[in-house]
């Protein structure tokens, strides 16, 4: 088994999670990582993103190898909230926060693993592939950093994102596309006690549509959800306006479009039925991807796991990641688990053993 400096790996991870970097506020961690990568020996470029995306920047870095192949490794630098003043703790080999915040293993565990694997390769004077890095801003809540990533920097034809949960060995080869919906329903106000019949209640319109709508698990490839609702101002006024945000996801693009059409159609028909107006903004957040299990990229990842006595586990997922965006842009990409668990909650954790194991995988993969 490859020798990884576990103490340094965990120390670096702890250092990274202590840097506040909720989505949109990645300047400090981006600057920190740019300096650290330069110290290791990477050529580093700071790639600008629109100001409404982040106060920081995307990071591209490159380390020339002596082996013939090239690979892009990618993680995102941002976290969900609550992610300020994180206080990590290690108890019996399990790293967590003290309970008031997330941990930030999503996705700083991947960053720490990549950098430790490279440090060890260089310390061992081990031949390795040419390594390119893409560290992105604002992945959480929209994959906005990868959408704005300057792909002209990248020479590799394939990539690995380290941004999934599950056991070490998990290889996400199939992921869904997502469509987001923003719905504004406009009814008619009236006094709820004196003349309610003169009003058109926007909530009544929405509830009528939703009661007929297929939601949650549609089939083994498709889901749909309404996750945000806002409206009304007073109990004595017939609700004149209502705003909703919804989504649909599917591994199959045709099923995704059918689900979106179903949801939009119900809102539109129900609005007409009640004499209301509706405006719907429908936007494709990202497209699905599917990579065959016998694809050379997947085969090489499997081989590296197997060499480390880890069972490769090709799987599909219901979530999106930067891998969706990179695949859409023509860069063949799989997503691997770093062992992160209960992400996006204050119960998030990752084990020292899993962080070590994914770092060992990277050492093996990059040197083979």
Residues catalogued as catalytic: 78, 139
For residue 311, which of 173, 175, 171, 160 has the smallest C-alpha distance? 171
DSSP secondary structure letter of residue 196: G
Q: Is the dihedral of CA 119, 122, 128, 132 positive or negative?
A: positive
For residue 278, which of 176, 180, 181, 157 has the smallest C-alpha distance? 181
Contact 161/325 with Cβ under 8 angstroms? no
DSSP secondary structure letter of residue 204: H
Q: Is the dihedral of CA 86, 160, 321, 36 positive or negative?
A: positive
Partnered with residue 312 across adjacent β-strands are none
DSSP secondary structure letter of residue 66: S
Can you state the percent helix, strand and coil of the chain, rounding each to 5?
A: 35, 30, 35
Instruction: Spell out a b/e string for 69-97, using b for 16 or more CB atoms within 10 Å of the CB, else e.
Output: ebbbbbbbbbbbeebeebebeeeeeebbb
E-strand ranges in 197-251 read: 216-219, 222-231, 241-250
What's the distance, CA 357 to chain centroid?
22
């Amino acid at each position: 088994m490859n020798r990884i400096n576990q103490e340094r790996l965990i120390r670096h991870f702890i250092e990274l999670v202590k840097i506040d970097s909720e989505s949109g506020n990645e300047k400090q961690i981006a600057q920190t990582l740019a300096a650290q990568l330069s110290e290791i020996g990477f050529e580093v470029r700071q790639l600008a993103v629109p100001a409404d995306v982040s106060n920081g920047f995307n990071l591209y870095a490159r380390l020339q190898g002596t082996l013939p192949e090239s690979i892009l490794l990618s993680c995102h630098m941002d976290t969900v909230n609550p992610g300020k003043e994180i206080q990590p703790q290690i108890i019996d080999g399990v790293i967590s926060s003290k309970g008031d915040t997330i941990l930030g293993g999503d996705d700083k565990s991947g960053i720490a693993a990549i950098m430790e694997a490279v440090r060890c390769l260089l310390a061992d004077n081990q031949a390795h592939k040419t390594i390119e890095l893409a560290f992105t801003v604002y992945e959480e809540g929209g994959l906005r950093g990868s959408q704005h990533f300057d792909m002209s920097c990248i020479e590799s034809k394939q990539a690995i994102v380290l941004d999934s949960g599950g056991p070490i060995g998990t290889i996400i080869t199939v992921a869904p596309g997502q469509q987001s919906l923003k719905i504004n329903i406009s009814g008619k106000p009236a006094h709820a006690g004196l003349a309610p019949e003169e009003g058109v209640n926007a909530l009544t319109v929405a509830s009528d549509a939703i009661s007929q709508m297929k939601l949650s698990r549609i089939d083994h490839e498709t889901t749909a959800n309404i996750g945000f609702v806002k409206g009304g101002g007073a109990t004595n006024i017939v609700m004149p306006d209502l705003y909703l945000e919804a989504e649909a996801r599917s591994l199959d693009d045709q099923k995704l479009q059918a689900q979106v059409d179903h949801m939009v159609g119900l809102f539109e028909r129900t609005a007409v039925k009640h004499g209301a107006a509706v405006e719907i903004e429908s936007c494709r957040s990202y497209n699905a991807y599917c990579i065959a299990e016998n694809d050379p990229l997947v085969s090489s990842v499997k081989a590296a796991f197997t060499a480390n006595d880890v069972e490769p586990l090709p799987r599909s997922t219901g979530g999106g990641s930067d891998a969706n965006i990179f695949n859409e842009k023509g860069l063949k990409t799989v997503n691997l688990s770093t062992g992160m668990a209960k992400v996006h909650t204050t119960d998030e954790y990752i084990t020292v053993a899993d962080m070590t194991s994914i770092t060992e995988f990277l050492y093996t993969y990059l040197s083979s």
